[in-house]
Amino acid sequence: MSGFVYSEKPIRIERGEGPYLYTEDGTEYLDVGASYACTPVGHCHPDVVDAVTEEAKDLFYVQASYPVDSRDKLYNRLAAIAPGSIDNVWLCNSGTEANEAALKFARAATGREKIIATKRGFHGRTMGALATTWKKKYKHYYEPLMDGVEFVDYGDVEQLEEAVDEDTAAMIVEPVQGEGGIYPASAEYVKAAREITEEAGAALIADEIQTGLGRTGKMWACEHAGIVPDILTSAKGIASGLPMGATLVQDWVAENHGNHGSTFSGGPVISAAAAATLDVIVEEDLPSHAAEIGEYLAEELGAKIEADEIDARRVRGKGLMLGIEVKRGSNRLVKNLALKEQVLALPAGRTVLRLLPPLTIDKGHADQLLKSIDSVMGGADQ
Ligand SMILES: *Cc1c(COP(=O)(O)O)cnc(C)c1O
C-alpha cells in the first residue's frame, strides 16, 4: 500500500525540536514552512508533550457533552484570548471543518443563504468550504459544490457594498490571504467589511486559520483593524500540529446554531495539547515576538531586493507570515532551499515563496534563513 494524494519528498523526517526537523542520519533542517503554520511554539515543545502524555494516560475519549478538565482548560484559554465579546466555541478536527461549521452557523443564525467570499481566497477542501475557495484547480473535478456563493475582489469596498444585501448570511474572509499568495488586507477594508455586514444583518467570518495565534504580530490578525468578527475560525497551529479546529462565535450566532455535531469534537488529548500551546503563546508573548522578528526579516529581505542582491520583486506580509514574490519558479526555489541549504519553505502559487516559521524563531534563525535565501536567490544562482 502507498499514499496517493501527496507526492513524496526525498527527505525522511524522523523528529522535530524547536524550529528544526531532523532526518535519521541527523541532518538538521530549518523549518520555515514544512509544518504549515502548525507549530507556533516549535516542534515537540516540552510543555505540549507533557500535557499530551499526561492526558493520554487518563483519557483518550469521552463524548463531548461530558465535561472534562482538559477541554474546560482549553475553553478558559480561548476565552482569555478571544477578540472582544466572542464567548462561544465549537471544536472540531481541521480548518475546513471549522469553516464548514462557520458557514452552517451563519446560515442557521440568519435564516439566509448567500455567502460572500473573496477572489484568491482559500477556506478548505470539503464541499462547503471548497465552494468559498477561489481557485478553480481545487474545485472543478468535484462540482457541483455548495450553492449560493458569490465572489468579490479582495480589497474592493465598493464591490462588497454591492454584493452584501438582505439575503446575505455571511462574508468569509482571510485578514491576510495565505494560499492565495500572502496578501494582507488593509485595515480600512477589514473595517468596511465589518460595517457593511453589520449593517445588512449578515455575519462576518474571519478565517484566521493561517493568520491566527500570533502569527501576524497580534493574537488575531483582525485586531490590526480593531474589529471583532461575528465568527472567527482557527486551526493549523492551535494544538501544535495535532488535528483541531475551532469556530468562535458571538452570542447571537450561538443562539440559533441549527443542528451540528461531530464525534471527535474537542477530544481530551487534543484539548490538552491546545491548552498547553495557547499557554506558551501567551506566556512567552509570541505575538509581539513574531512582530519583531517578522519586521526584521521583511526589512532585510526588502533591502536585499532593493539592492538587487536577490532576484525577487517584493516582499509582502505581516509578522511571521511572509511572501517573497518572484517572477516564476517558486517550486524550484523551495527545492533548492531544501536540498542545498537544508531550509524547508513553502510555495504559494508559482510566484510566491512563503515563510511560516514557528513564532519562537530568534534573530539567529532569521539570519540563517536570510543567508540561505541569499545563496539560493542571489544573482549568481539565477
Ligand atoms: C489551511 C487553511 C484552511 C484549511 O485547513 P485544513 O486544516 O487544511 O482543512 C482554511 N483556511 C485557511 C486560511 C487555511 O490556511
Output the pTM of the full model. Answer: 0.98
For residue 164, what is the enclosing H or E element? none
> Which pLDDT does position 62 carry in this prediction?
96
> What is the number of other CB atoms lying within 10 angstroms of the CB of residue 106?
26
Q: Is the pLDDT of residue 380 over 80?
A: no
Give, in order, the Cα–Cα distances in Å from 263 to each of 187, 225, 259, 269: 38, 36, 14, 14
Atom number of ligand 1 nearest to Cα 97: 9
Cα–Cα distance between 91 and 101 in angstroms, integer? 10
> Which pLDDT does position 381 carry in this prediction?
45
Residue 10 CA to ligand 1 center (angstroms) comes to: 25
Mean per-residue pLDDT for 53-70? 97
Q: Are 223 and 290 in contact (CB under 8 A)?
A: no
Cα–Cα distance between 234 and 98 in angstroms, integer? 7
Q: Are 123 and 132 in contact (CB under 8 A)?
A: yes
Taking Cα atoms as reference points, which of 320, 371, 328 lies closest to residue 349?
Answer: 328
Contacts of 261 (CB under 8 A, 6+ apart): none
Confidence of residue 305 (pLDDT cuts 50, 70, 90): very high
For atom 11 of ligand 1, the residue with the nearest CA is: 123
pLDDT tens, position by position, 190-211 = 999 999 999 999 999 999 999 9
Around ligand 1, the residues with Cβ closer than 6 Å are 94-96, 99, 122-124, 174, 178-179, 207, 209-210, 235-236
Domain with CATH 3.40.640.10 in the chain: 46-283
Q: Residue 102 has which C-alpha cell?
A: 462557520
Atom number of ligand 1 nearest to Cα 99: 10
Do strands 321-325 and 314-318 pair parallel, antiparallel, or not at all (unpaired)? antiparallel
Residue 245 CA to ligand 1 center (angstroms) comes to: 9
Residue 34 CA to ligand 1 center (angstroms) comes to: 15
Q: Is the pLDDT of residue 97 over 80?
A: yes
What percentage of the chain's residues is helix, strand, coil (to nearest 5)? 40, 20, 40
Mean per-residue pLDDT for 284-301? 98
Q: Is the pLDDT of residue 378 over 60?
A: yes
Confidence of residue 382 (pLDDT cuts 50, 70, 90): very low
Residue 212 CA to ligand 1 center (angstroms) comes to: 11
At the fourth CATH level, which superfamily is domain 13-31+285-377? Answer: Aspartate Aminotransferase, domain 1 (3.90.1150.10)
Q: Is the pLDDT of residue 276 over 90?
A: yes
Residue 20 CA to ligand 1 center (angstroms) comes to: 23
Contacts of 92 (CB under 8 A, 6+ apart): 98, 101, 244, 245, 246, 247, 262, 264, 265, 266
For atom 15 of ligand 1, the residue with the nearest CA is: 210
Give, in order, the Cα–Cα distances in Å from 351 to each of 50, 68, 111: 40, 46, 41
Do strands 245-249 and 231-234 pair parallel, antiparallel, or not at all (unpaired)? antiparallel
Atom number of ligand 1 nearest to Cα 126: 9
Q: Are 19 and 30 in contact (CB under 8 A)?
A: yes
Q: Is the pLDDT of residue 7 over 90?
A: no
Residue 198 CA to ligand 1 center (angstroms) comes to: 25
> Which pLDDT does position 285 carry in this prediction?
98
pLDDT mean across residues, the chain: 97
> Which pLDDT does position 325 carry in this prediction?
98
Sheet holding 20-23, edge to edge: 13-17, 20-23, 28-31, 343-344
Cα–Cα distance between 214 and 196 in angstroms, integer? 26
Q: Is the pLDDT of residue 23 over 60?
A: yes
Domain with CATH 3.90.1150.10 in the chain: 13-31+285-377
Confidence of residue 379 (pLDDT cuts 50, 70, 90): low
Residue 204 CA to ligand 1 center (angstroms) comes to: 17
Ligand 1 pocket test: which of 236, 247, 356 has the largest number of ligand atoms within 8 Å of its C-beta? 236
For atom 5 of ligand 1, the residue with the nearest CA is: 95
Residue 314 CA to ligand 1 center (angstroms) comes to: 25
Do strands 114-118 and 149-152 pair parallel, antiparallel, or not at all (unpaired)? parallel
> Which pLDDT does position 1 carry in this prediction?
87
Instruction: Specify the CATH number for 46-283; select among 3.30.390.50, 2.40.10.10, 3.40.640.10, 3.40.50.1370.
Output: 3.40.640.10
Mean per-residue pLDDT for 156-176? 98
Sheet holding 245-249, edge to edge: 88-92, 245-249, 231-234, 203-207, 168-173, 114-118, 149-152
